[in-house]
Structure formats: C-alpha cells, structure tokens
Amino acid sequence: MQLKDLYQGFRHPETIHTLAKSIAEHAAKVDETINIMEVCGGHTHTIMKYGLLQLLPDNINFIHGPGCPVCVMPKERIDHAAALANLPDVILVCLGDMIRVPGSKGSLAKWRSEGCDIRPIYDPLDTLTIAKENPDKTVIFFAIGFETSTPMTAVLLDQAQHQGIENIYFHINHVLVPPAIDAVMAEPKTKVNAFIGPAHVSVISGAKVYQPAVDKYHTPVVVSGFEPVDVLESILQIVKQRTENKAELEVQYNRSVTYDGNVAAQAMIDKYFDVRDSFRWRGLGPIANSALKLRDEFRHRDAEIIFKEHLPTTLIDDHKACQCGDILRGLANPVDCKVFGRGCTPETPLGSCMVSSEGACNAYYRYGGLTAKKGTSNAK
Amino acid sequence: MPSKSKTVQLSHGGGGKEMDQLIKSVFFNAFDNPILSAEEDAAKLNLSGPVAFTTDSFTVSPLFFAGGDIGKLAIAGTVNDLAMMAAEPQYLSCSFIIEEGFAINDLKTIVNSMAKELHKSGARIVCGDTKVVPKGCADGVFINTTGVGRILNPNVSVKNIQPGDAIIVSRDVGRHGATILMSREGLSLESDLSSDCATLWPIVEQLVATSTPIHAMRDATRGGLSAVLNEWSKASNVGIDVDEDAIPVADEVKGLCELFGFEPYDLANEGTFILAVPKAAAAGAVEIMKRYGNCEHAAIIGHVTEAHAGKVVLTTPWGSHRYLDLPQGELLPRIC
C-alpha cells in the first residue's frame, strides 16, 4: 500500500459532487441556518483549501473554532519561551510552527536570529538526541498542542526519566478541547448549533469526550477526518440529524477514531500530567480546567517552576482592533475585522488567528476571496 | 607540507603558494579553457548584440543530495537564468567561500560536478575567486556564479504574457524542495526521490531553434510554481487560471507534502521551468519538450485571462476555486 491510497479516495471528484448534492437536498428540508463550528483548525484549513464552501447551500454556515494550538497561545507564554531561550547555556526546542508566533518582544525566529539557540523540530523525541549531544546545556522543550500532541510530550518525559537524561526540562502549554467547547457555548450570543469534532485529537481522547456537550447543549457532534470527503460526509450527517431534529454523537472518522480512544496514550498522559486550575487562552481569556501541567513529582523538570524568577508575569492582550476573540467564539468572521489583510497579515500578525496556517484568519487570507464569499455573512 | 593537506586551511586563501596550488590543482584542472588559463586580472570577452547578465549565490544544506550537489546547482542555476531569457549561456564567473577545514576531496567532487554540468550548455568559467574563512564563519562551501549569454529571442519577458496564452510546465514540480527537506528533517523515510537539478539550455535551445513564439519563461526555483505564476500575473497585470488536475506532481512529493503539510506548488525546483506561449503554439511546444530528456511529463496546466488581474486562481478537480498564493516565511512542518 502507498500513502496516496490513504487519501486519494477521499479527494475523489465524483464522490465530492455526490455528497454536495445530497447535502443540498437534505438542507432544503431544514428551515433554519445550520451554524457548524469546526472546532479544529485542521478542518478550517480543509474547508478553505479545498473550496468546500462553494459547494454548499446557503443555509450551511461555518463558524471557525478555537482548535489551533499555535493560535490560542497567549503572548505572555511566548514571552516565557523567549525569556528561557535568552538564559545562558539554554537550548530551547519547540515544534516547527511555533517559531514564527510573535510574543510581545518578537517571535522565536527573531530571537534565534539574535543568537539564541532555538531549534524547531518535527518529532519531540529529537529532544533526547539534542540533550545527549549537549550534556553541558539546559535543554527546554516548549510543549504546545491539544490532546493530539500531549502523548508525544509524555513519551519524551518518560524516555528522559528512563534513560536518566537530567538536562531536559519542560514548559507545558498543552490544552484541552472539551473546555474550549464549553467556553464557546457559554457565550449567550452564540449561534453554533452543530459541531464537527476534531480528527487527530479524537484518535487520542476518543469520541466519548464530546458526549457531555451533546447532552448539555443538544447539538450534533460529528467527529470528522481531515479530507474533503470526510468533511462533506460529516456535514451530511449533521444535516440529516437536523432534519430529524436529533442531537447525537457520531464518528465519521471511524477508520481511526473509537469511542474510547487510545487508552494507552491516555494512561501515559495521566501518569505525567495534572489539569491546571485555569489557563488563559489567547482571544478567549481564562478557561477553568482547560490545560495541563506536569505532575508534582516531576516538578524538578518543570521549567515554569525551576526558572520561575526569569519568567515575565505581565499578561498581554492582543491589539485593540483585533477581533480574534469574537472570531474564536463564532461571533465574527475574519473578513469582519477592520485590520484583516491590512494591518494584520501572515507576515505581521496582530492576532492569534492570523499566526498559523490553521488559524481562521490565515486560511481566509491565504485561500479567501473566492472561497470566503459565503463566509462573509456567517456571523451577521 | 601544505600541498599534502587533506583539508582547506586558512593559508589556502592567503594569496601565496598554497593558494596558487589549490587553484591550479583543483579549479584550473577542471575548468580548463584559454581565457581562464591566460590568468589576467580580468577575463577578456568578445560580446556583440543584446546580452543577458545574471548572478546567483548557492548555500544549500546538505551540500550533496540525491540528484546533485552544490556544484551542479551553482552551474545549472546561473545557466538556467540565462536560458530563461532565451540567451545562450557563454561565460561564467565562479567565487568560492570555503570554511576552514573543508575536505579537499569534497571540494574536488563539487568542482568536477560543476565541470560536468558546464558541458551540457557549452558555457565556460572564465574567471573566479577563492576565499577561506575561519571555522564556523560559513557552512562548508558557499558558491557564487555570475553568467553572461547572447540573447537569441529578445521578446521573452515577464511583461510579455498576454490573455489567451497557455501556461506550460516542463515536468513534475516540487522535487528539489522535497529532496532537500527529506534529507534535512531526518524522518529516515525510504524513497527514490531525487532532485530535478538540471541544465535547461538544451531544451530551450530547441524551442528557440524551432521558432516557438515564447512570451515568457522562468525556472521555478525558490517559491516554486506558486511564486512564478504570482510574479507573472503581477508583472504582466493578467490573471492566471490553473487546473490542479493537470499539474504533474510525483507521488513521493505528494506524500511528503501530506506528512509535513506543504503544497508541492510552493516547493523549490532546480531543473523545471514554466513557459507562456500563445494557445495555438502550446501543443507544438509541449511536443518539442517531450522529445527532449526530462520533459516527458511536460503539460499545459492553465491559461492567461483578463479576469482577476494580478491573481492566480486554482481550480480543484471537483470544480471549486481558490487563490494560489505566494508561499510565506520559512517552510516549517505543521504541528498536527
């Protein structure tokens, strides 16, 4: 089997047209607007990149959710990374995309150009090699991401423990999807009445984590894969639920996601992490129980504790004109924002949603225009 | 004895005996021609009529990759820039900045690969310079090449693209970028993927010789296909429509892009060019290109339009549209 066999069928033009037609037929029976929040930035990217909005009827709208790990990191956390990178004999290791996210005094790419040793990696386990090759250095892994990437950090910590590699520390910024859904639904003005559930996150967490949202808010949640056929099939499942006035949890991405998820990975996460009382999300503000930290017994590896005196404590909000908060709550669309594409571009992002390719504003900026036509009316 | 040294020393850049030995034994030996071996302060050239003139510096890491090395790249790159102006590559300069401690055998390999690549266009290196910098001040070897060539078709220009033109790509896109990424990211993927690095003059020479009415040509180097089409749409103030299904991309390149979250259209090429010709001449041009070497995948991928001037619009295989934008910033793998 080749890699292309895994995705080609999910980009099959005839299948895409058939699904789009079926969605239109079913949506015609619904006399309301279905406002679907795709929680995960990967789905935002799929919808925009493959021009799926152009294939859908007018009463299906997308509201782009807060599921982009790079986007939801507040500037003060990036400032932490910069402060750590500026300490003597420190190598700061982070996942690739993180390096261009601006903090209050510039991005990690800028600090790297000024001589800080900052290494973007693809596989967190590369940190082990870096630490072994540099025994005299303090190697700090700046960990970000949702449930998808948390197990990789846990495995890194597990390996560091087992191999006795003492010079690896962790700055943990892992966040959780369900509390973010609750934060969106806590907004009285929200128009969201259906969710597309994340793909990779759900592989780890299982679909079970969305059952409370289905029960509490009476909204359909369909866990979807990232390919165009996946997303369209999920939309069809949502529309069918609306026509039958149902609100159920379904898994479209059943080739990878089970109800219970990856139990071994969950155990690994539990072994090394605790839930934080509160975490401040960029654009959304503080959300209770929405992020993780290292368990107390690993405090000797927790960079937030060990290097506390060097870490700035000032909270930094986005530019006043930036509407990322409203966009992440589904109250505004990227094109509604006054600075979108003017003061705020992927090269000089003012707000979180423009930063990563999975952010809503970035996807609109990159693929927008043609694709975003329908989107302009989403949140009005 | 310095001459027995297996690595390049600072003394090799000092202007003395060691430097003379290095230049004679490595560079003159490989690039031998009467203008170079005259050893004047500057090369004497005979030029007449319109001449194209270009320069490029090469800093690739790793220096040796599947399908080429920095030497092949340094020749093909500059020769291709001349070829893209429908200019016959004639004379090149080459400057080396070498890091102290660099293996002389590696240097010889690079220089020999340059000499081999020069044969493909007939261009000659007629002057050069060598500097050696202390360890850590360069990454192995940096090479600059500058070239001049006689323009055979003065009408080829990025400003000459017209509505109704067909857009042709000479082969599958993204190979060089994908090959370099794969060797850098250390994913230990097994693949036969190799760079497209090649001299394009032999193909261009045929297009010119057959009087193909070329409006514009550009090799899709950094920024890939996306960058060329966007630059063209702005330079000629036209819109460009591209059919995604028609763009040739190798399965390996597609696979790597899926893993890392890249677009094959954003990845660099080093032996792939884009051509704008009047629609009526497009099929003939593709036929000529296919008959030559690496161009069996040459394809018409789109056309130029008066609509959406300055923008490139990609049509997906299922008929939706999106802008094909310029790639931005460092190419970094996505997080999840």
Residue ranges making up the domain that contains A84:
75-175+291-310
Calculate helix-pair angle for A41-49, A360-367, nearest 10 degrees: 10
Q: What is the pLDDT of residue B27?
A: 93
Interchain CB distance below 8 Å, A13 and B319: yes
Instruction: Mark whether B70 and B207 lie in a shared domain.
Output: no
Residue B8 inside a domain? The answer is yes
B72: DSSP letter:
H
pLDDT at B174 (0 to 100): 95
Q: Does B320 touch chain A (CB under 8 A)?
A: yes
- pLDDT, tens digit (0-9, with 9 covering 90-100), for B197-235: 999 999 999 999 999 999 999 999 989 999 999 999 999
User: B48: which DSSP letter?
Assistant: -
Checking if the pLDDT of B3 tops 50, the result is no
A138 Cβ contact list (under 8 Å, min separation 6): A87, A89, A90, A91, A167, A169
Are A37 and A192 spatial neighbours (Cβ–Cβ below 8 Å)?
yes
Question: What integer pLDDT is reported at residue A35 of this predicted model?
Answer: 94
Kindly state the average pLDDT of the residues A282-291.
93
Dihedral sign from CA coordinates of B333, B62, B76, B193: negative
For residues A105 and A235, membership in a common domain is answered with no
Q: In 10 A of CB A251, how many CB atoms?
A: 22
Predicted local confidence at residue A125, as pLDDT? 95
The strand pair at A285-288 and A278-281 is best described as: antiparallel
Check whether residue A139 and residue A225 sit in a common domain.
no
Residue B202 lies in a domain: yes
Contacts for A43 with CB less than 8 Å, ≥ 6 apart? A67, A196, A198, A199, A224, A226, A231
Domain harbouring A203, CATH code: 3.40.50.11750
Last residue of a domain, which of B151, B169, B190? B151
pLDDT-based confidence at A379, cuts 50/70/90? very low
CA–CA dist A172, A166 (Å, integer): 17
CATH code for the domain in which residue A143 is found: 3.40.50.11740
Which B residues in the span 261-280 are in contact with A, Cβ-Cβ below 8 Å?
261
Q: Is residue A249 part of a domain?
A: yes
Contact A366 B316 (CB under 8 A): no
Convert the pLDDT of each residue in B135-152 to its tens digit.
Answer: 999 999 999 999 999 999
- Can you give the three-state secondary structure of chain A, one letter per residue? CCHHHHHHHHHCHHHHHHHHHHHHHHHCCCCCCEEEEEEEHHHHHHHHHCCHHHHCCCCEEEEEEEECCCCCCCHHHHHHHHHHHCCCCEEEEEEHHHHHCEECCEEHHHHHHCCCEEEEECCCCHHHHHHHHCCCCEEEEEEEECCCCHHHHHHHHHHHHHHCCCCEEEEEEEECHHHHHHHHHCCCCCCCCEEEECCHHHHHHCHHHHHHHHHHHCCCEEECCCCHHHHHHHHHHHHHHHHCCCCCEEECCCCCCCCCCCHHHHHHHHHHEEECCEEEECCCEEEECCEEEECHHHHHHEHHHHCHHHCCCCCCCCCCCCCHHHHHCCCCCHHHCCCECCCECCCCCCCHHHCCCCCHHHHHHHHCCCHHHHHHHCCC
Same domain, A183 and A171: no
Count how many domains chain A has. Answer: 2
Residue type, B181: L
User: Does the pLDDT value for residue A139 go beyond 50?
Assistant: yes
User: Which chain B residues have a beta carbon less than 8 Å from that of A13?
Assistant: 317-319
State the best of A44, A97, A100, A149 to mutate against chain B, taking most chain B CBs within 10 Å: A97
Nearest CA in chain B to A120: B332
Q: How far is B181 from chain A (nearest CA, A)?
A: 12
Rg, C-alpha atoms of chain B: 21
Question: Do A236 and A371 belong together in one domain?
Answer: yes
Interface residue B319 vs chain A (CB under 8 A): yes
List the structure tokens of B51: 């001449």
As a whole number of angstroms, the distance between CA B80 and CA B222 comes to 13
Q: Does the structure show a pLDDT above 50 at B187?
A: yes
Q: Which residues of B touch A357 (CB under 8 A)?
A: 261, 334
B170 and B88 within one domain: no
Pair A82, A161 in one domain: yes
**What pLDDT shows up at residue A355?**
79
Last residue of a domain, one of B109, B124, B151: B151
CB contact under 8 A, A69 and B325: no
Q: Output the pLDDT for position A347.
A: 79
pLDDT at B237 over 60: yes
Establish if A272 belongs to a structural domain. Answer: no
Instruction: Say what the ipTM of the complex is.
Output: 0.78
Distance of alpha carbon B298 from alpha carbon B171, whole angstroms: 5
User: Which percentage of chain B shows pLDDT scores above 90?
Assistant: 76
Q: Are residues A222 and A236 in the same domain?
A: yes
What pLDDT shows up at residue A380? 28
Identify the H or E element spanning B305.
strand B299-305
pLDDT for B114 beyond 80:
yes
Task: Determine contact, residues A258/A292, Cβ cutoff 8 Å.
Answer: no
CA–CA dist B159, B236 (Å, integer): 4
Tens-place pLDDT, residues A339-378: 998 889 887 888 878 877 778 898 888 877 665 444 333 3
Write out the two tokens for B41: 């302060």
| Mean pLDDT, range A319-331, rounded to an integer | 84
Asked whether the whole model's pTM tops 0.90, one would answer no
| A269 occurs within a structural domain | no
Rounded CA separation B109/B63 (Å):
11
In a domain, B330, yes or no: no
B323 to chain A nearest CA, in Å?
5
pLDDT of residue A19: 97
Assigned token pair, B138: 């360069």
pLDDT band of A256, cuts 50, 70, 90: very high
* pLDDT above 70 as % of chain B: 93
**Cis amide bond preceding B264, omega within 30:** no
Look at chain B and report how many structural domains it folds into: 2
Q: Are residues A168 and A184 in the same domain?
A: no
Residues of chain A found within 8 Å of residue B321, distances taken between Cβ atoms: 51, 54, 370-371
**Judgement on whether residues A353 and A232 belong to the same structural domain of the protein:** yes
Which residue does chain B place closest to A345, by CA atoms?
B328
Task: Clarify whether residues B87 and B187 are in a common domain.
Answer: no
Higher pLDDT, B145 or B5: B145
Residues paired with B218 in a beta bridge:
B274
| CA distance readout (Å), B307 to A128, A370, B102, B241, B279 | 53, 13, 54, 9, 17
Residue in chain A closest to B332 (alpha carbons) equals A96
Residue in A54, A93, A110 to test binding to B, most B beta-carbons within 10 Å? A54
Query: If you write DSSP's letter for every residue of B160-200 in order, what string do you get?
Result: G--TTEEEEESS-SSHHHHHHHHHHHT--------------
Mean pLDDT for chain B? 91
B276 strand-pairing partners: B167, B216
Residue written as tokens 């128009």? A191
Q: Report the distance separating Cα B285 and Cα B70, nearest Å.
A: 31
CATH assignment of the domain containing B197: 3.90.650.10
Beta-bridge mates of residue A117? A91
Q: Which residue of B has its CA nearest to A372?
A: B322
**Could you give the angle at the alpha carbon of A120 between the alpha carbons of A115 and A124, nearest 5°?**
135
**Residue A88 shares a structural domain with residue A145:** yes
Rounded Cα gap, residues A292 and A282, in angstroms: 16
Same domain, B140 and B207: no
Same domain, B308 and B174: yes
Q: A54 vs B320: CB contact, 8 Å cut-off? A: yes
- Is A97–B251 a contact, with Cβ atoms under 8 angstroms apart? no
Tell me the torsion sign for CA atoms B76, B81, B87, B89.
Answer: negative
User: What is residue B301's three-state secondary structure?
Assistant: strand
Asked if B336 lies within 8 A of A144 by C-beta distance, the reply is: no
Closest-CA residue of A relative to B313 is A370
Please indicate whether, in this complex, the C-beta atoms of B255 and A4 are within 8 angstroms of each other. Answer: yes
Position A275 pLDDT exceeds 90: yes
Domain final residue, candidates B95, B127, B151:
B151
Residues A155, A115, single domain; the answer is yes
Q: Would you say the C-alpha torsion B27, B28, B30, B35 has a positive or negative sign?
A: positive
Contacts of A347 in chain B (CB under 8 A): 328-329
Which residue has 């209770």 as its token pair? A288
User: Is the same domain home to A137 and A103?
Assistant: yes
Cβ separation of A368 and B330 shorter than 8 Å?
no
Structural domain boundaries enclosing B45: 2-151
Q: How far apart are CA A332 and CA B137, in angstroms?
A: 50
Nearest chain B residue (CA) to A149: B336
- The answer to whether the beta carbons of residues A27 and A161 sit under 8 Å apart is no
Same domain, yes or no: B204 and B103: no
Q: Do residue A253 and residue A355 come from a single domain?
A: yes
